[in-house]
Amino acid sequence: FTLTFAIIQHSYFVGFLVYILLNLALVFSSVYIVTQFAPAAAGSGIPEIKGYLNGVDTHGILLFRTLVGKIFGSIGSVGGGLALGKEGPLVHTGACIASLLGQGGSAKYHLNSRWVQIFESDRDRRDLVTCGCAAGVAAAFRAPVGGVLFALEEVTSWWRSHLMWRVFFTSAVVAVVVRSAMNWCDSGKCGHFGAGGFIIWDISGGQEDYSYQELLPVAIIGVIGGLLGALFNQLTLYITKWRRTYLHKKGKRVQVCWRYDILVVIKVELLL
């Protein structure tokens, strides 16, 4: 953004071109990660973690490669301007970190250590992954109790009081860490992030009071936004069905090129 704003002072076209190229480069990095480097990092991650905690161990969802792909893929997608929420990636990231700690690290990349390998049984490892899921939700929304409730209601089917205290303690630690990070951002050391909170854009200068005359335009905008959202979801459903039926049979190289072309079209339409 800083580079784009500096360039458009001299040429709007060059600034527009630089903005497009930077966003496409970031998104292309994410596309490459989920098609070539870590396919298990694609998508939200919550359904896969739910499946693991309920007895379905999908291949590769908790590997170190998946953790790296999830982190940098999310950074590229958000930096490129795609609509990506925080809950799914952080839940998956927390689950991967918890699983790696439970088994002492990554044996494939020789990053393992015996002093952290304390959870030997599958039940202990599942408990630790559940704590990682709760930590992800607590960090995403700054809600430690929400992390506990998410772990209790959503991701796991085998619950006991001993696990409750583990999850609650994990979420409490996350709340302290996130609050410390927010105080660090309030000191002006986080770039474009400010007083609005951790991983949230600064909204401290927004309008706080409204008048009755604004209610009707706001309602109309809400209806239009809802209709456009429904249209977007329907188009996404059709495109997803088409990709699964025709595109995925032609190999990963075609998938990367197709996604790259579509992103070019979307970026140009949005900015125009």
Statement to judge: residues 100 and 161 lie in one domain: yes
Q: With bands split at pLDDT 50, 70 and 90, how would you rate the model's confidence at 270?
A: very low
Statement to judge: residues 69 and 126 lie in one domain: yes
Statement to judge: residues 14 and 59 lie in one domain: yes
pLDDT: which is higher, 187 or 16 = 16
Q: How many domains does the chain have?
A: 2
Statement to judge: residues 237 and 121 lie in one domain: no
For residue 266, the one-letter residue type is I
Token pair for 129: 């992954």
Statement to judge: residues 68 and 158 lie in one domain: yes
Please write the tens of the pLDDT for every residue from 68-77: 999 999 999 8
**Closest by CA position to 66, among listed 103, 100, 111:** 100
* Mean pLDDT comparison of 5-9, 70-74, 189-193, highest-scoring range: 70-74
- The strand pairing partners of 193, in sequence order, are 201
Statement to judge: residues 122 and 234 lie in one domain: no
Q: What is the DSSP letter of 157?
A: S
What domain range is 30 assigned to?
1-192
